[in-house]
Amino acid sequence: MHGMMMDTQLMISSLLTFADRNFPEQEIVSVTAENPRHRYTYRECFKRTRQLANALDGLGAKFGDRIGTLAWNDYRHLELYYGVSGSGMVCHTINPKLTPAQIIFVINHAEDRLIFVDPLVLPLLEAIQEHLTTVEQFVILADKANMPETTLSNVLCYEELIGEYSDEFEWPEFDENTASGLCYTSGTTGNPKGVMYSHRSTILHAYASSLPSVSGLLPTDSVLPVVPMFHVNAWGMPFGVLMCGAKMVFPGPKMGDSETLQALMEEESVSLTSGVPTIWMGLLDYLDQTGKNIDSVQKVSVGGAACPMSLIKRFRDDHNVLVKQGWGMTETSPLGTVFGLRAGMEDYNDEQVAEVQAKQGHGIFGIEMKITDEENKEQPWDGEAVGRLKVRGPWVAKGYYKQEESQSPLDESGWLDTGDVAMIDAQGYMQITDRTKDVIKSGGEWISSIDIENAAVGHTAVAEAGVIGRYHPRWTERPLLVVVKQAGAELDKAGMLEFLVDKLDKMSMPNDVVFVDELPHTATGKISKLDLRKQFEDYEFTA
C-alpha cells in the first residue's frame, strides 16, 4: 500500500520562491572588482535571477544545456546558480585554477554552450578560445562602464543582457532527478571527472547541512563562505543558507586576502564562515600581526584537508571561536561527516573537546559510512581498525558524467570508494588517516602522512608541511617530511625532529626532513602529493 501524501518534487526553484516569500529583506553583500561592498536584498537577487532566466531563454539556451561559469564568490555568480538551475539547465562551475589544458577539457567535455566569465578571469579564456568547440557565446560579468577590452568574439555584457528582460518568470516544474549542477574534481591523475548534481540531491543536502548539529543556521546569522563557489558549490552553502534565511557575505576575488576577510567579518557581523585550513592559517597570522579581532564570529567550518590541532587551539584561545571540522568530497556534495559533541561529553574540558574537533566528525543522517579491508570486509568501529572509507546516500555520486561503467567509483556492492583511509571509533567519530594513494606502507604497517603533517605545522616556524613515502631498503617505505618555513624563521632538521618526538609514535617519526621554498598545490589548494613525489623521485634515504 502506498502512503497518501503529495509527491511535489524537490526543486531548487522552490527554495527561491520560499526565501523570496519569507525573507525578502535579508541582505546579500559582495566584494567585486567594481564595488568593494555591493549590497542588495534576497528580493532583488531573485528579481534579477528571473531576468536572467528570461535572458537565458532569449539566448536560446534549452532545458538540460550546460552553462559554464568562471567566477568568484559574489552576487552575480549566485544569480547564475539560481537562474541556470531553476530553469532546468546545468550550472557548470569551472575552477579557474585548473591548468589551461584541463579548462579546455572540462568545457569541451561538458559541452558548455554559454560561458559567464568574471573580467578578472578573462585572459585565461582568451588564451584558449580557439580550442573551445561548443561555446557559442560569452557573457562578461560586469556592467557597461566596466566592460573590459577583449579578444573573445561573441561577447555580451551581463548587466546589459539581463536589463533587457522582464523580471516575471514562471519557474518550470520537472522531475527532481533532473541535473542541476556540474563540478569537476581536480583529478590528481588523468582528466578531471564530472560530478553531476540533481535538484533532489541538492535540496536533500541543503536540509542536512541546515541541521542543528551541522550548521544550525538561523535567519539572524550572517554567513561568509570563503570556500570558492567553483569548489563543490561553496560546500552547498548558497542553497542551505536560503533554506534558513541567513545573511550572505561574499569576498569576491579577495578570497585569500586576510585584510578583506577580517573587515567583512567585522562590518557584516559574520557569525559563521567556512574554508580550507590554509585560508585560516593566513587569517590567524594576520590577526596576530595587527591585533585585530573577529568578535562576531562564533563558528568556523573547516574541511577539504585535515584541520591541524594548532588551528583549533588558536581560534579557541585567541578568538573564542569554535572550529567545526567536516569531511567530504566533490562526489558527496560535499557533506559527509561533521564535528559535534555527543551526550555525555558536556563535562569535557577544552583539551578533550579539541581531541574530538581534530577528528573528521560524526555521521549525518543521509550518509551511511563504513570502513572495509582489501577483501571488502567491513571493519569494526573501535577506533583501532583502519580501512578504506566507503559511503552511500542520496547526495553521493553514483558515477561520473559521460564516463564508462568500468570507470565507476562504486565498489561491487554499490558504495562509493572515497579513496580515503580512515578509522571510526565506538562513538561514531571518523578519523581520516590518509588517502589510499598517499598512505605510507612501512614494514607492513600503515603510517598516516596526515598525522605527521599536522604535528609538524604545530611548530611556529613551519608554514606548511607535506609528507610522502619514499623507498627504504629495510622498511620498503619510510616517511620523508618536506617543510616550508615561515618567512624569516629559523629551523633545522634536528630542531624539527626534536619537536616531533613526543608528538608521534616511533614508527611515524620521519627519517628525514627537507626544507623547500614552496610545496606544489592542486587546483583546490591542497598539497599535490603526486607532484611532491615526482619532485623527490630520485631521493634516497641515507639512514
Active centre residues (catalytic): 185, 331, 441, 446
Number of residues that make up the chain: 543
DSSP-based three-state secondary structure for 272: strand
Q: Other CB atoms closer than 10 Å to residue 169's CB: what's the count?
A: 22
Least distance to ligand ADP, CB of residue 337, Å: 8
Q: Answer yes or no whether residue 410 interacts with ligand ADP by CB under 6 A.
A: no
* Residue 331: CB minimum distance to ligand ADP, A: 7
Three cell numbers written together for 259: 585584510
Q: Is 316 helix (H, G, I), strand (E, B) or coil?
A: helix
Degrees to nearest 5, angle at CA 31 with 30 and 33: 135
- Sole binder of ligand ADP in the list 54, 69, 85, 522 (CB under 6 A): 522
Residue nearer to ligand ADP on the CB measure, 209 or 522: 522
51 binds ligand ADP, rule: CB under 6 A: no
Rounded to an integer, what distance in angstroms lies between the CA atom of residue 45 and that of residue 47? 5
Q: Which of 420, 451, 453, 512 is close enough to bind ligand ADP by CB under 6 A?
A: 420
Is the CA virtual torsion 318, 322, 325, 330 positive or negative?
negative
Cβ proximity to ligand ADP: between 305 and 484 the closer is 305
Asked if 530 touches ligand ADP (CB under 6 A), the answer is no
The stretch among 45-53, 130-138, 297-305, 372-380 that binds ligand ADP (CB under 6 A) is 297-305
Residues 314-333, interacting with ligand ADP (CB under 6 A): 325, 327-330
370: left (phi over 0), alpha (psi -120 to 50) or beta: beta
Residues 352-391 that bind ligand ADP (CB under 6 A): 360
Residue of the chain from 419, 486, 503, 509 that contacts ligand ADP (CB under 6 A) = 419
Q: Give the range of 76-84, 101-109, 299-307, 501-509 binding ligand ADP by CB under 6 A.
A: 299-307
Residue from 26, 32, 54, 186 in contact with ligand ADP (CB under 6 A): 186
The reply to whether 201 sits near ligand ADP by the rule CB under 6 A is: no
Residue 42 sits at φ, ψ, to 5 deg, of: -50, -45
Please select the residue that binds ligand ADP; options are 305, 322, 354, 461, rule is CB under 6 A: 305
Q: Does 528 bind ligand ADP (CB under 6 A)?
A: no
DSSP run (H or E) holding 470: strand 462-472
In 3D space, the residue among 180, 248, 184, 244 whose CA is nearest the CA of residue 208 turns out to be 244
231's CB contacts (< 8 A; 6+ apart) are 95, 183, 304, 330, 524
Question: CA–CA separation, 358 vs 442, rounded Å?
Answer: 25
Return residues touching ligand ADP (CB under 6 A): 185-186, 303-307, 325, 327-330, 360, 418-420, 432, 435, 522, 524, 526
